[in-house]
Amino acid sequence: MATWGFGLRAKSMLALILACLLSLIPAGLIGWQILDSVRNHFGEAFARNFTLLKRQSILAPISRDLALSRRLADSEVTKQWLRAEDDQDKRALFFKEAEGYRQDFRGRSYFLASATSQGFYINDEQNAHSTTPHHYLKQEEPGDSWFFSTLKQTAPYNINVNYDIHLQITQVWLNILIRDGDQILGVAGTGLDLSTFLKEFIATPDAGITPMILDEDGAIQAHRNAALIAINQAAAKAKTEQTLAGQLSTPQEQAELSAAMSKARQNPEGVSTLQIHLDGKPQLLALAYIPELKWFVVTAVDLKAAQVLDRRWLNTAVIALVLLIGVLLLAFGYAVDRLMLRPIRKLQQSASALAQGNFQVNLPPPSRDELGDLSQAFGVMAEQIRNNTEELEAKVQARTQALEQANEEMQRAHKQINDSIDYASLIQRAILPDQQLTQLLGPHHFVLWRPRDVVGGDFYIFRSEEQSYMVGVVDCAGHGVPGALMTMLARAALDHAMTEEGIGAPAAILTRTDSTMRGMLQHCNLPRAIATNMDVGLVYVDRTRGLLRFAGAKIGLYWSDGLEVGEFKGTRRAIGDRKVGLYSDTEIPLRPGITYYLATDGFLDQAGGELGFGFGNTRFAQLLLSHARLPMAEQASALDKALEAYRGECPQRDDITVLSFRFD
């Protein structure tokens, strides 16, 4: 080892000390901390002022419409007409008075829904003088649930963001109860166009600023991302992802948000602030409460993106600091290269030659420091590597031959497995009733059958007797080979049930199938992780009597005529569930021009879209409504293309089956 001269460590320390003495990096870091504190201070002030400004801009117009709506609902003319809805004089007097209200409303429209007749009246600028109901509300219609939920509430009014399926518009609705003493006569109010509302009160061109509106429960009522808005909040609880708390990452932040909302509610004139993580970034949240509307006006400010400070002088300082640091780094780099890296580079070239198999390395010339000692040790190491490499090459050659033989055996086994699965797929397709469906229904049906793997756990059935027949879809638990084997048991159990019960009693077939499956599996000691349940939807078609009879185990029957869409739901218990299900038949008149659909949950649960959510029942119903009048082959193609477009790059989650039919 060298005993005199400057060693490698001493040279490194000398260069580092020289760079640190000339560097202003510590001062820059301190300045950045001060600047960050100033930015946070001004950012909080900006968030408070911005939130108060938004609160005032929202409160004035909506409070005005809310006050007008309450006056319309409390009008004695309104109450007298609703107490005698068939009285033409009172009807004419109401609509004459209501026209004056319509002119004063911001959206130039008003609505009234009668609790007695359940008629829904609406007048706007396109239809300003209609005195007849636009449509009648039905309790069984999901799109009318807002009305019946409002009738049950104790509060005098609610503000609800809702898509009206009859009007086909999404608005911010002001729903005011019309009371006559303890009797509720109906609901009146007005609506604000959601897109206009978002543009006027929520949209902002400033980067890093996200205004939003929450209701009392924290559900999002207005947001620049329409997918986060809780639609029809008056009738159903908002989804977790449609609440601000659902956007937060930790329970602690959710608790802090709840405390800030409570504080803002207690002090409506003030603004509460807190630090949270939203959209994966730390943000400052400011909340102000509007007691008249029972809304929270919220502003999320990304302090790193929002322009809360004048950046012109900051950019100049940053450029100067960068130039200074650059000069220091160049000086430091030159010193390190001169004193340390050149000798090390020569040694690295020798190491590269050694790595390429050239053991005749050219070592750096000896020196009087640690690099000289390293060169000597490197020469000894090169000799040892050469000896070890020769020995290792011999062992590798022997191991390679063994691996090649094992690989050939694995390929043969893999081919045998694939051949078996392909044969199983052929058998599974052979039991599907495609030929019978084509013979009896022809172009009046289509089937989408897409297993997730080569074989799957979905299948469909068809059995006919004279002018009647049975169609159905089955979704067995599991995928691939286990799911395919379950379909064999399920098909046998269904065939036995249809033989015993006849095809005219779908509910009895489900009950008998459940009993048969439990009997097949009761003596099998299966692990808990293995599921043996299955979802079934059966439809008996009686052409002579002109009716359908439906029963389902977790599978519903959808229908659409291109103008409306609906679903007859199955029971919540699957075949083979832990608890025995009770299945019942639903008789439906056979209507020409109606297209009926049976679908397994593979279509509805398929992930996709921008957020990776499932396709969902609502999107599926709208898809059926859009294509119900097309020829069946075109419908099948449209559904298939829509699912593919939604799925995008996401893998197929489950086996997919859709069976559809109709009658002219």
pLDDT digits (tens, 9 = 90+) for 443-471: 999 999 999 988 888 999 999 988 899 99
Q: What angle do CA 584, 587, 591 make, to 5 degrees?
A: 150
- Residue 485 confidence class, pLDDT cut points 50, 70, 90: confident
Average pLDDT over residues 161-173: 75
Burial class of residue 34 (count of CB atoms within 10 Å of its CB; 0-12, 13-18, 19+): exposed
Q: For 195-221, what is each residue's pLDDT tens digit?
A: 777 677 677 777 778 888 888 788 887
Give the whole-angstrom CA distance, residue 420 versus residue 424.
6
Q: What is the largest CA-CA distance in the chain?
A: 117
pLDDT of residue 364 exceeding 70: no
Average pLDDT over residues 511-538: 82
Place of tokens 């006919």: 464
pLDDT for position 587: 95
Q: Residue type at 167? A: L
240-254, 255-269, 520-534: range with lowest mean pLDDT? 520-534
Listed in sequence order, the residues at least 6 apart from 190 whose beta carbon sits closer than 8 Å to its beta carbon are 65, 68, 69, 105, 106, 107, 109, 110, 111, 173, 174
pLDDT for position 30: 64
pLDDT for position 3: 42
pLDDT for position 637: 96
41-50, 260-269, 427-436: range with lowest mean pLDDT? 41-50
Dihedral pair phi/psi, residue 198, rounded to 5°: -65, -40
- Domain spanning 197-301: CATH superfamily: PAS domain (3.30.450.20)
Average pLDDT over residues 632-640: 95
Average pLDDT over residues 253-276: 86
Task: Supply the mean pLDDT for the chain.
Answer: 83
Give the whole-angstrom CA distance, residue 290 versus residue 216.
10
CB 585 within 8 A of CB 576: no
pLDDT for position 460: 95
Listed in sequence order, the residues at least 6 apart from 433 whose beta carbon sits closer than 8 Å to its beta carbon are 460, 461, 462, 463
pLDDT for position 239: 77
pLDDT of residue 187 exceeding 80: yes
Q: Please compute, for residue 153, the number of CA atoms within 13 A of its CA located in the half-sphere on the CB side.
A: 21
> Quick one: which of 284, 293, 279 has its CA closest to 214?
293
| Helix/strand/coil for 129 | coil
**What sign results for the dihedral spanned by CA atoms 466, 506, 604, 588?**
positive
Tokens at 165, concatenated: 């399926």
Listed in sequence order, the residues at least 6 apart from 269 whose beta carbon sits closer than 8 Å to its beta carbon are none
pLDDT of residue 254 exceeding 70: yes
pLDDT for position 635: 95
pLDDT for position 15: 65
- Residue 314 confidence class, pLDDT cut points 50, 70, 90: low
Instruction: Please report which helix (H) or strand (E) contains residue 389, including its range.
Output: helix 370-430
| Helix/strand/coil for 410 | helix
Domain parsing of the chain, residue ranges: 197-301, 431-662
pLDDT for position 312: 61
Average pLDDT over residues 65-75: 91
pLDDT for position 46: 78
Give the whole-angstrom CA distance, residue 43 versus residue 307.
9
Give the whole-angstrom CA distance, residue 82 versus residue 112.
10
pLDDT for position 337: 65
Average pLDDT over residues 388-392: 78
Average pLDDT over residues 326-355: 67
Q: What is the DSSP track for 334-385? A: HHHIIIIIHHHHHHHHHHHHHHTT--S--PPPP-SSHHHHHHHHHHHHHHHH
Give the whole-angstrom CA distance, residue 475 versus residue 489.
12
pLDDT for position 214: 83
Listed in sequence order, the residues at least 6 apart from 606 whose beta carbon sits closer than 8 Å to its beta carbon are 614, 615, 643, 646, 647, 650, 652, 653, 654, 656
Dihedral pair phi/psi, residue 67, rounded to 5°: -65, -40
Q: What angle do CA 628, 550, 140 make, to 5 degrees?
A: 70
Give the whole-angstrom CA distance, residue 197 versus residue 209.
17
Higher pLDDT: 238 or 412? It is: 412
Tokens at 321, concatenated: 């600091």
**What sign results for the dihedral spanned by CA atoms 337, 342, 343, 349?**
positive
- Range 431-662 classified under CATH 3.90.870.20: no
pLDDT for position 658: 97
- Please count the other Cβ atoms lying within 10 Å of the Cβ belonging to residue 486: 25
CB 224 within 8 A of CB 142: no
- Residue 244 confidence class, pLDDT cut points 50, 70, 90: confident
pLDDT for position 521: 81
Q: How far apart are the first and last CA of the chain?
A: 100
pLDDT for position 224: 77
pLDDT for position 321: 66
Percent of the chain with pLDDT over 70: 81
Give the whole-angstrom CA distance, residue 95 versus residue 462.
56
622: left (phi over 0), alpha (psi -120 to 50) or beta: alpha
- Residue 120 confidence class, pLDDT cut points 50, 70, 90: very high
pTM: 0.43
| Helix/strand/coil for 661 | strand
- Please count the other Cβ atoms lying within 10 Å of the Cβ belonging to residue 415: 10
Average pLDDT over residues 624-634: 94
Dihedral pair phi/psi, residue 212, rounded to 5°: -155, 165
- Strand order of the β-sheet with 281-290 is 220-223, 209-214, 295-301, 281-290, 272-278
pLDDT of residue 528 exceeding 80: no
> Quick one: which of 603, 578, 591 has its CA closest to 473?
603
pLDDT of residue 358 exceeding 60: yes
288-292, 536-540, 568-572: range with lowest mean pLDDT? 288-292
Q: State how far Cα 564 lies from the chain centre.
A: 25
Average pLDDT over residues 407-422: 77
Kindly calculate the radius of gyration of the chain based on its CA atoms and give it in whole angstroms: 37
136-140, 388-392, 531-535, 607-611: range with lowest mean pLDDT? 388-392
CB 289 within 8 A of CB 41: no
- Please count the other Cβ atoms lying within 10 Å of the Cβ belonging to residue 233: 23
- Residue 394 confidence class, pLDDT cut points 50, 70, 90: confident
pLDDT of residue 558 exceeding 50: yes
| Helix/strand/coil for 521 | helix
Helix axes 8-22, 370-430, angle to 10 degrees: 80
> Quick one: which of 52, 44, 50, 45 has its CA closest to 268?
52
Average pLDDT over residues 263-278: 85
Give the whole-angstrom CA distance, residue 275 versus residue 41.
13
